[in-house]
Amino acid sequence: MVIGGGPTGVELAGAISDIAKLYMRHDFRHIDPANARVLILEGSPAILSAYPEDLQQSAIEQLKQLGVKVRLNAHVSDVQPGYVMIGDERIDSVVTLWAAGVQASPLGKLLGVETDRRGCVMVDQFLHPAGHPEMFVCGDLAHVEADDPDLSRFRDAGGKLILTHAANDQLILVDGSIGYYRRVIDVIGGEKATKEFARFFVSEGDGHCLCLHPGPGILAADAMAALMRWVEQGIAPDEILAKEIDVMSGDVLATRPVYAYPMVPQYRGKGDAKDAASFRPVHLSERGRSRE
């Protein structure tokens, strides 16, 4: 049971169904995870209410294909172990996930410092509220701006970073991530220096969530494997293989290479367009030019 049909709830429900029907289907002897029932309860008349109606309807249709049920105008009045109440109606639920938003502890507003709309305290990189170096706020009560492009301390500590984003993401636009990575390059001192510890991959075939927008996309497991090879073996990833997977059968329907930005895949002009071997890397500025 997922309470809340916003971006978090929709993605969460789709991912749960994806995991149950695909990744866990061979892990149990006596139960079939594919039989798991996933339900979204949304209090408003539509899911993804901040987005256009065509995207809302598309999300519902794709959720249905994944076996996720959506119930609208469902105002949850109580959550208890094993069940959820909608007014006088009881719905049994083995696992209930709250995705309808939360408010921070009221302590934040009692401090007399700046807070965000959820009541979280605005803090700097050292977790100090503005003008209060003697005070620390951390955890869920702290609001830290996470778009600082100066990753030099992270780099100097030996950190490695892989950023991924879907070009067709309709909920969080890829332009923001591209702009951030370019700012990192400017601050660090060039593309070469940045790629020594941070690489950015833009997959073109999928959307916000692989299970909600079919197409070759970077699986979390593949990105993590690339990061582990980089950290543990010193092998920096120039390419990650994107995959389109049938959530019901687990079959790989298509593959496509995803190259470290600013390199992008270009079709060679022959071969299966669903096979990664039919693509080659080109600089973003060269896309669309002759394939020869």
CB 120 within 8 A of CB 157: no
Helix (H, G, I), strand (E, B) or coil at 88: coil
Q: Which of 204, 189, 185 is nearest to 266 (CA)?
A: 204
- Give the Cβ contact number of residue 158 at 10 Å: 8
> Is the CA virtual torsion 95, 100, 102, 103 positive or negative?
negative
Indicate which residues carry an active-site annotation. Answer: 11
Q: How far apart are CA 291 and CA 77, in angstroms?
A: 60
Measured between alpha carbons, how far is residue 270 from residues 175, 258, 276 in Å? 30, 19, 12
CB 247 within 8 A of CB 66: yes
Geometric angle at alpha carbon 172, from 101 and 66, rounded to 5°: 75
Q: How far apart are CA 276 and CA 263, in angstroms?
A: 15
CB 213 within 8 A of CB 207: yes
Q: What element of type H or E holds 200?
A: strand 198-203
